[in-house]
Amino acid sequence: MWMASSLALTACGGADVEAASSGDATVAEQSQSAVADRRIIVYLTPSQQLYGVKDGKSTLIAERASAPSVSPDGSQVVFSKLPSSWNVGEPVKSAELHLYKASNGKTERLTAGHDDQSPSWTPDGKSILFQSKLRSGLASFWRVKPNGKNLEQVTNRSTSLATDPAYVPAPVSNTPVQWGPNQRRIIVYLSPQTTTTTEVRVMKLDAQDNVTSAYSLGQGTSPAWTEEGNVRFQREVNGQLVDVEVSVQ
C-alpha cells in the first residue's frame, strides 16, 4: 500500500485517528509507512519498528517489521516480521507473517521458516497474498488464510513455465501489490526486465484467487490504478519520463 503517513493518520477521520494525532504528535514525523482506518492504526518508524495506536497511546508490536496491511474490515493487520538482528538496508533472508488483532492487542504467527514478505489482503478479506522465494526457489506469490491454514502457491506452480498462465517473473523486492478498483481481482506490480529497467505487469485472479492471466504493459515505473480501472505509470522516452495510461479490461 503506498500512502504518506500524514494522510494515513487523518484520511478516515473518527475518534481513534484524532486521538492518535493529539496523543502522539510525533507519529506522522517518525513513520515511513502507515496504514489506518476507523478502528485500527499502525505505523513503522525509520528503524522498522511496528507500533499500534490505541486511545492515543503507542504500543510496540514488533521490533523489526515491514509492509503492514490492514484487513478490509479494519480489525486486523498482517505484517512481515523480520529478525530482531536485522538492520535497515540489509538483505532480508528470513521473514515471517504475523497477524495483529485490534480486538485484543495480540499477535499471532501465520508462517515460519522462509522469507515471506509484502503481504496484502484479498478484497474479500478471506486470504492474504504474499511473496516468497525460498519456498520454491523461484520468487512467487503465495496465499494463506488469516488463521494460518490453507497455504498455497499462487504463481509459478507449473514445471513448464513457458505455457503456464500463472507464470510471473520475479517481482522487485518488497514491491507492493495494488488491487484494482471496485473489488476487481487484478493486481499491479513491478517486475525486473533487465538490470536497469522494470516493467509494469497485471495479474488477474478469479473468485478462488487462482491466476487466470498475467501480462505486461511494457516498461515503466510507479504504477497506480485510476478510478476508471486504467493503469497509469511512467515510462522513459528519449531520456524523459512521460505519463502513460493503459486501459485494462
Residue of 56 and 218 predicted with greater confidence = 218
Hey, what's the cell of 174?
518488497
Res 10 pLDDT > 60: no
Torsion of CA 247, 156, 88, 90, to 10 degrees: -130
Q: Which of 192, 195, 246 is nearest to 224 (CA)?
A: 246
- Tell me the whole-structure pTM to 2 decimals: 0.77
Residue 244: name the closest of 198, 185, 200, 197 by CA: 200
Determine whether 125 is exposed, middle or buried from the number of CB atoms within 10 Å of its CB (0-12, 13-18, 19+). middle
Residue 96 DSSP SS3? strand
The answer, yes or no, to whether residue 149 has pLDDT greater than 70, is yes
Q: For residue 128, what pLDDT is reported?
A: 94
What does the pLDDT look like over 152-195, one tens digit per residue? 998 887 766 666 666 677 676 667 788 988 777 788 888 777 66
Q: How much is the average pLDDT of 6-18?
A: 31
Tell me the domain boundaries of the chain: 1-154, 167-249
Residue type, 244: V
The rounded distance, in Å, linking the Cα atoms of 239 and 142 is: 37
Return d(Cα 43, Cα 136) in angstroms, integer.
31
pLDDT digits (tens, 9 = 90+) for 85-125: 888 878 888 899 999 988 888 899 999 989 998 899 998 89
Number of residues that this document lists for the chain? 249
* SS3 state of residue 242: strand
Q: What is the mean pLDDT of the chain?
A: 78
- H, E, C per residue of 8-74: HHHCCCHHHHHHHHHHCCCHHHHCCEEEECCCCEEEECCCCCEEEEECCEEEEEECCEEEEEECCCC
One-letter amino acid identity for 48?
A: Q
- Beta strand 198-205 with 211-219 is antiparallel
Tens of pLDDT, residue by residue over 43-72, are 889 888 899 887 778 889 998 998 899 998
Asked if 40 contacts 59 with a C-beta cutoff of 8 angstroms, the reply is no
User: Which overall architecture, per CATH, does domain 1-154 show?
Assistant: 6 Propeller (2.120)
Q: What percent of the chain has pLDDT above 90?
A: 26
Helix then strand count (H, E) for the chain reads 3, 19
Q: Which three cell numbers stand for residue 98?
A: 504475523
